[in-house]
Amino acid sequence: MSLTPEQKALASHRFERAESTIGEAIDELSRGNFRLTVNRAYYSVFYAMRSFLALANKDSSKHSGVISMFNQYFIKTGIVSEISFKSIQSLMDLRHESDYQDFAEITEEEAVGAVQTAHIVITPLKQSLEKLLEE
């Protein structure tokens, strides 16, 4: 994969945003703000996926589009084989529930699970991204 300096810069910027956002999720969890914890955990993964899409000159204005393209270009091709598409989808579903359902109650267990899932996704993505940026 031949990358331009612009692609590398955008991918790095987006991944830095992913890392700071997972930090926000952890902060909100410690405050007991479980809805915001789930939101920030999801967005950390969303920004990480968009960092990879920058490498392929792809993007989408819809969250489902970002997830679909990430799955198509990076998971199905084996470039990031450690990542479970189902984990990403379940995190998106929980975020959707917490953000949009009027009477949704997010438990501490769900919030902790969201942060754990985000870490499980982001950690190998960071390693994969670093390898791709070095090539």
What's the pLDDT tens digit per position in 69-82?
999 999 999 988 77
The residue ranges of the chain whose pLDDT is under 50 are none
Directed axis angle between helix 63-70 and helix 34-55, to 10°? 50
Query: Can you give the pLDDT at residue 64?
Result: 93
Please enumerate, as own/partner, the contacts of 29-32 that have beta carbons within 8 Å and a separation of 24 or more: 29/111, 29/112, 29/115, 32/108
What's the pLDDT tens digit per position in 53-64?
999 999 999 999
DSSP 76: T
Query: Can you give the pLDDT at residue 81?
Result: 79
Query: Can you give the pLDDT at residue 84?
Result: 80
* HSE (side-chain half, CA atoms, 13 Å) at 85: 14
Query: Can you give the pLDDT at residue 83?
Result: 81
Residue 17's domain spans which residues? 5-134
Query: Can you give the pLDDT at residue 26?
Result: 98
CATH code, domain carrying 42: 1.20.120.330
Count of structural domains, the chain: 1
Q: Cβ neighbours of residue 89 under 8 Å, at least 6 residues apart?
A: 67
Could you list the beta-strand ranges (E) of 59-135: none
Q: pTM to 2 decimals?
A: 0.94
